[in-house]
Chains A and B, each alone.
Chain A
Amino acid sequence: MLINFTLNHKPVSIDIPTDITLSVMLREHLKLTGTKEACEIGECGACSVLLDGELVNSCLVAAPSVMGREVITIEGIHAEDGGPNDLQRNFIEKGAVQCGFCIPGMVIAGEALLAIKSEPSRLEIREALAGNLCRCTGYMQIVDAIETTAKERAEKPNLSKRER
């Protein structure tokens, strides 16, 4: 089946089997391996992407259902120059990264939260990450990174997405 959608701000048209998930389409058919799979039953959040701006587990989304919609994966999150954006830089600076396997999902979940909440409390950040498992970090430094980014963005509210 041919489906058309917007992937990381660019139009995509791809012929895929109808019975695959969005995560499989991204990883196997589009070779975007930044999105991970660690349970495939919607429990771990490693496969998190933004679908029309909303956080979803791509392992639970039928690939054909993204027809005409907008998908953002970790490959679509970066600063204008292609380097890390402020949230990603804070993940590095705060020591939020260990093995890294959960990290693309964590960055996506962080962006999803910051898009709807400008100054979340630590507890609100924890709530927003509750669907994303990390076995390495104990979450402390991940919460630090998102909290710091929120503060920085609140200080410079006029910064456009591209300038981050």
Chain B
Amino acid sequence: MADLKYIGQPAQRVDALDKVMGKTKYVGDMSIPGMLYARTLRSELPHARIVRLDTSPALQVPGVVAVVTSADFVNHSNFGFPISDMYMLAHEKVRYVGEGIASVAAETPEAALEGVKAIICELEPLPAVFDMAHALDPDAPQIGPNRTDGKHPNYIGHYPVYKGNPKEKLLQCDMVIDQKYETVMQEHAYLETEGGLAIPTPEGGVVVYLSCQSPFIPRNDLCKVLGLPADRVRVIVPPVGGSFGGKDDLNYQTAGQVAALALKAKRPVRMTFSREESIIASYKRGSMRMNIKLGADKDGTLRACEFRSLYDSGAYSSQSPFTSWRASIHAMGAYRYDDCTVDIDTVYTNTGYAGAYRGFGNTEVCSGIEQAIDEMADALKMDPLEFRLKNCLKVGDVTPHGQLLSESVGLRDCLLAVRKMSDWDRKRKDFANQSPSAEKRRGIGVSALFHGTSLGAEGLDEATATIEIHADNQVTITSGLTDYGTGARTVYTLIAAEILGIQPERIKVHNPDTNTAKDSGPTVASRTTILAGNSVRVAAQNLLQNLDWAAADLLKCDVYQVHRVGEDYIGPSEELVSWDIVVKHAREMGLVLSAFGRWSAPQIHWDEEKGTGTPYFAYHFGAQVAEVEVDLKTGHTDVVNIWAVHDIGKVIFPQGAYGQLYGGISHGLGYGLYEDLDYQNGYAQSINFDTYLIPTSMDMPEIQGGFVEATFSAGPFGAKNIAEPAMVPTAPAILNAIANATGRRIRKLPANLERVMLGKELTKKGSPFSCKVALKIT
């Protein structure tokens, strides 16, 4: 793979220019003549029966044009995958505060809000469950759908990994750790809130511009709930202002609402959320309670892990079956064990709801297991980094799932790199010698991670791209996967430029559009570089064949005799012909100047009952070290430094990869230190950025990043992935650093001032009132 021209070379993001000029149009920036503004009536109760819903008064409000409820859809607007427990608008019951009940379209946003207020909606409160530990009580009120297998309706699933018998093994271990860890809900806090714009078509269909991740899912859902065939529903993803897993299910409901309103009003309808509405209505990272037992020998060899946990999905299952499964696969960390079991149970409650968020279960379990690993190292009086080096997975190891790792395992190199970069050995020594009376104490902590690439055994894993040369010789690419800020468009561009041997400037990537792109599954699981990247590679290779034939024909030689000099082609006669001439000749020869590329991930299998198999075809690895300064008087923790080295396979777009790394770390730092979307009795306690704090430029340290390129043979040019795993180890590295600084361990995230200072929480100031007001005024 010598002499790569574009892959791994300095490059700039292809969509940055419009963004720095303020020209990029997000959904909220779009307006078209005749457009109506929509607003949704949302539940003010965490669990209630809808006893009366009369929308006719809303239609009397001046300016209101149309109102829709679940009755306006096929099958009451039921949708959802893998469990169909959601509705575009609530049907019979509401299960969380913020759930949509009816939507209004009006000439102005003010009139739409007046319309919402005019709707007569009588809710009869039902008993609710807020504590996941009581979700499965025999007398717990039913939240989930009816089931026929005799299981509790609030039960979503059980996700196991089984290797041997750790219970017995733990009895034989020299040292055993038995601890509980807890994580709380995290808000995605994408800067652009949710939104959608629906435009009715003359044929009776609808086009929806939707800020989302995976356009084919809402397209297919809309067909179902609107009763329209595929050719009548088109979803286009405009530029998206951040998502991090967060713009799926809830915004599919937005799509349903604006589409139904547009069809009814026969006019375009746009809905955008205020920040308050976004935080109240949207799904979060779910909370988790873990119990981890680890066993090791005196010499520091890990022997056994027994992991049990409960995961709260809130009112809807959303992606939680998949999140929980991914959590189960990663719960024991990137280590070797003789015996290891994982049991995760996932339940419904009336606490908001949980869905996909960067790291997708791994972020949660990593914060537990990586603290437990540190606690074990402490107990054994071993250096925690050394302890990880001794036990971490390497090529040739078999994981606790029973998977042989035959290539691309760079964890050891990542650990060695952060050890060196952070001056770990010296700092551990120095910090151990701080004066016990010092008010400000320094600490340094490490965390490792592995993260399965793409969907894994969660589902069918393939992607298709198209590539085409147009009359003006511009090259365009389509992919069914979305760039919601990640840099994927640039990755596709560089891959296609490399294969075709042309300047990246010639290439343009279309917005994902269900009418032009091919369904490639969801844009999740950090799968875009491998899946879409590979499909673009294949498409470009297919197109290249035709161009090579044309060049050979033009140069009167065989294809193998054709070479490239820059963009130009050269044959045995040493005569140069330009790429444009070759394209022109291909056109004259009648060759097709467009191509498909499909790539399917290697076959893998997971046995859900036995808890064994090959969960993922490849893994990302990484290690981060955090250095903190804790003020023991105030509880304030300053993260002074972070060193992060990740094995992402071949780096395709370095600047973008660093951007993902830094950005991921900021989510992890927030998760570790401040972010807690706390709910009291079903009401979110923070509903805007004044109380839900995300890291600012002052909270973030200067980060030193690096990459280990343990290439993956099936990846495009050897690439794996980065987006999600960048955030996964940050919080536990910080928590381990705080423990190193203070000698006190905080086993419940986040390590905010109170927890660091007092070891407990203060009562919160939010109230049901603020949620109710926010749903009716802002």
Contacts and interface: CB of A to CB of B under 8 A. Distances in A.
Interface of A: 27, 31, 33-41, 43-44, 46, 73-75, 77-78, 84, 88, 91-95, 97-104, 107, 122, 125-127, 129-143
A69 B191 CA distance: 29
B658 interface: yes
B191 A102 contact: yes
B240 interface: yes
Given A39-B275, A39-B688, A127-B698, A138 B663 contact: yes
Interface of B: 12-13, 15-26, 28-29, 31, 188-193, 239-244, 274-275, 484-487, 655-656, 658-659, 661-667, 688-690, 694-698, 700, 702-703, 778
Contacts of A93: 12
Contact of A100 (B239, B275, B662, B665): B239
Given A38-B275, A99-B485, A101-B242, A137 B659 contact: yes
Contacts of A129: 696-697
Given A41-B690, A43-B690, A88 B20 contact: yes
Does more than half of chain A's interface fall in helix, strand or loop, or is it mixed? loop
A46 B29 CA distance: 14
Contact of A130 (B21, B698, B702): B698
A139 B240 CA distance: 19
B697 A139 contact: yes
Contact of A136 (B15, B17, B29, B663): B663
Given A84-B21, A101-B190, A142-B697, 15 more contacts: A33-B25, A38-B689, A43-B688, A43-B689, A92-B16, A92-B20, A98-B486, A99-B242, A99-B485, A103-B19, A136-B485, A136-B659, A138-B659, A139-B700, A141-B659
B517 to A, nearest CB: 20
A95 B25 contact: no
A44 B241 CA distance: 14
Contacts of B661: 138
A135 B190 contact: yes
A104 B22 contact: yes
B658 A103 contact: no
Given A99-B242, A122-B702, A139-B666, A130 B697 contact: yes
A75 B21 CA distance: 7
Given A92-B12, A92-B20, A98-B663, A138 B191 contact: no
Nearest to B662: A138
A105 B303 CA distance: 52
Contacts of B242: 98-99, 101, 135-136
18 contacts: A33-B28, A34-B21, A34-B22, A36-B191, A38-B192, A46-B191, A77-B22, A88-B20, A88-B21, A91-B20, A95-B656, A99-B243, A100-B16, A107-B20, A135-B191, A136-B663, A137-B662, A139-B700
Nearest to A131: B696
Contacts of A99: 190-192, 239-243, 484-485
A126 B191 CA distance: 19
Given A99-B240, A101-B26, A91 B16 contact: yes
A95 B275 CA distance: 27
A137 B705 CA distance: 13
B401 to A, nearest CB: 32
